[in-house]
Amino acid sequence: MIRTFLTAALLASAAPLGAQPLPTPTPAPSSAPLYLPTVPADVAALRDRALNDDHYAWDIVEGLTTEIGQRMGGTEAEARAREWAVAKLKALGFSNVRVERFAMPVWTRGAESAEILAPFPQKLALTAFGNSASTPPGGISGEVVGFDTLADLMAAPDAAVRGKIVFISHAMPRTQDGSGYGFFGGPRRQGPSIASRKGAIAVVVRSIGTDHHRNPHAGSQSFEEGASPIPSAALALPDAEQLQRILKRGKPVSMHLTLVSSVRQGESGNVIAEVPGRDPKAPVLLVGGHLDSWDLGTGAIDDGAGVAITTAAAKHIMDAGRPLRTIRVVWFGAEEMGLYGGMFYKDLHGREPHYAIAESDFGADRIWKVDSKLGTTREAEARALQAALAPLGIVPGAIDKADGSDIGPMIEGGLPAVGLSQDGTHYFDIHHTPDDTLDKIDPEQLRQNVAAWTAMLATLSGGIEPGPKQAKRR
């Protein structure tokens, strides 16, 4: 009763007797709800079995990090890791297990240390960037000049930099999608070249990371044309902040830097294994990660997890039967020092048709979003993929873009691709540091990854039929 009365009163006030009705705004466009197709029962069953029971991925990443440990591209340790990979992939029952070898220059870290000489003598924790020039064994000394951003360094007159050790800071924030790494990685990627061209004798950069541990973040950089190589290194974040505080005191700051390194010619390779499809002429589905790691940790999240997750997913398909399309698993070599493995695969196979390519190389935290770029004629497949993943808490993302590290150039080149985005909120706490070790991987999150990759492969495989072994069992 009361409500009816009030409604009448409101209506009366909105259109008072004898007045023109007030104009009504155009209704806002409703955001169209995304209706996704039903998930085939066999895809859902495969996905959920992996989610609950997968042990292949943990077995691979535990084994690789324990029995090999660090495996920097081009080193003897990476060669041992390739042997380990071949043995493991054969033992799991993969076919056509092989190594495609290539040559590369191998940069190797030597002794490294940093010390403030004045005004407040103390050591700082740092690590050289890949492709840093070497100091003499006894190191070098110089005055430190600090810049809060790369832009500040670029704007500085050469005279302010010449003969000095440049320090560059930045303000990379923590993000879920890791999008800060591009822009805020500039001090590492471009900083050394800019400092060198202005006449600096060395450059130290606040680690491209989001933690506060005394573990500096390695990473590669390369000197651009016209920039002669100088020693370059990352300070651990607490040490970068310490150096900022010391510089703020306004007294001249001098530093001694030892950053010894060497370069030699070496070799690496891509380890490749397959689940053969029923149609050997159908374009392959490529999944993988990179086998090499930085030298400081054991490469658990970068990228032991990636090869483990994608291999486990392919193994779940193999266990279920024979897909129509061949699934090719690639453990790329020497990604960290410049996508050597990815570029080599592209040189050898990049012109062959691929049904889709996808790489896992962003840690081991849960997948939160799926992007794809399968082409305008394959939207139904992209939607089927989104549908298969949504029950894992995965947001349907773009259907016209995807990215990846080793596979990035091939995506640029037009190959169809899928991107399963891992949550990167904590990734840059650990990335490229000594802390990249097995204990950082949560087995439950790892299984969610395997479930997503299994569902993706099942969706794109063209249908799985019982193989000889599976048929016999029935």
The residues, any chain, with a CB within 8 Å of residue 433's CB and separated by 6 or more, are: 207, 209, 211, 213, 215, 216, 217, 218, 296, 297
Q: According to the binding rule CB under 8 A, does residue 238 interact with a copy of itself?
A: yes
How does DSSP assign 266-301, residue by residue?
Answer: EEEEEEEEEE--SSTTSPEEEEEEE----SSS--II
Residue from 3, 245, 264, 472 touching a copy of itself (CB under 8 A): that is: 245
* Residue 437 binds a copy of itself, judged by CB under 8 A: yes
The DSSP code for 302 is I
Among 37, 93, 121, 414, the residue binding a copy of itself under the rule CB under 8 A is 121
Nearest to 173 by CA among 164, 160, 163, 182: 182
Candidate list 7, 14, 66, 393; residue touching a copy of itself; CB under 8 A = 66
395: how many CB neighbours lie within 10 A of its CB? 13
Catalytic residue among 78, 112, 274, 335: 335
- Shortest approach of a copy of itself to residue 439 CB, angstroms? 5
Q: Is 215 in the site for a copy of itself (CB under 8 A)?
A: yes
Among 141, 149, 176, 242, binds a copy of itself (CB under 8 A): 242
| Distance in angstroms (rounded) separating the CA atoms of residues 137 and 115 | 15
CB of 266 vs a copy of itself, minimal distance in Å:
17
Site for a copy of itself in 45-64 (CB under 8 A): 62
Site for a copy of itself in 299-338 (CB under 8 A): none
409 binds a copy of itself (CB under 8 A): no
Please select the residue that binds a copy of itself; options are 120, 152, 252, 414, rule is CB under 8 A.
Answer: 120
According to DSSP, residue 304 is labeled I
C-alpha to C-alpha distance for 225 and 371, rounded to whole angstroms: 36
In the set 36, 44, 69, 197, which binds a copy of itself (CB under 8 A)? 69
- State how far the Cα of 203 lies from the Cα of 168, in Å rounded to an integer: 8
Tell me how far apart the alpha carbons of residues 16 and 88 are, in angstroms, rounded to a whole number: 82
Tokens of 7: 């409604």
Interface with a copy of itself (CB under 8 A), residue from 319, 335, 371, 435: 435
Question: Candidates 66-74, 181-189, 312-320, 368-376 — which segment interacts with a copy of itself by CB under 8 A?
Answer: 66-74
Instruction: Check binding of 176 to a copy of itself (CB under 8 A).
Output: no
Q: How many CA atoms lie within 13 A of 330 on its CB side?
A: 28
Report the nearest approach of a copy of itself to the CB of residue 180 (Å).
19
335 is catalytic: yes
Given a contact cutoff of 8 angstroms between Cβ atoms, the answer to whether 257 and 157 are in contact is: no
Secondary structure (H, E, C), 66-85: HHCCCCCCCCHHHHHHHHHH
163 binds a copy of itself (CB under 8 A): no
CB of 70 to a copy of itself, least distance (A): 7
- The answer to the question of residue 67 lying near a copy of itself (CB under 8 A) is yes
Handedness of CA 75, 298, 129, 243 (dihedral sign): negative
Size of the site for a copy of itself (CB under 8 A): 34
- Residues near a copy of itself (CB under 8 A): 62, 65-70, 77, 119-123, 125, 212-215, 237-238, 241-242, 245-246, 249, 297-298, 433-435, 437-440
The residues annotated as belonging to the active site are 335
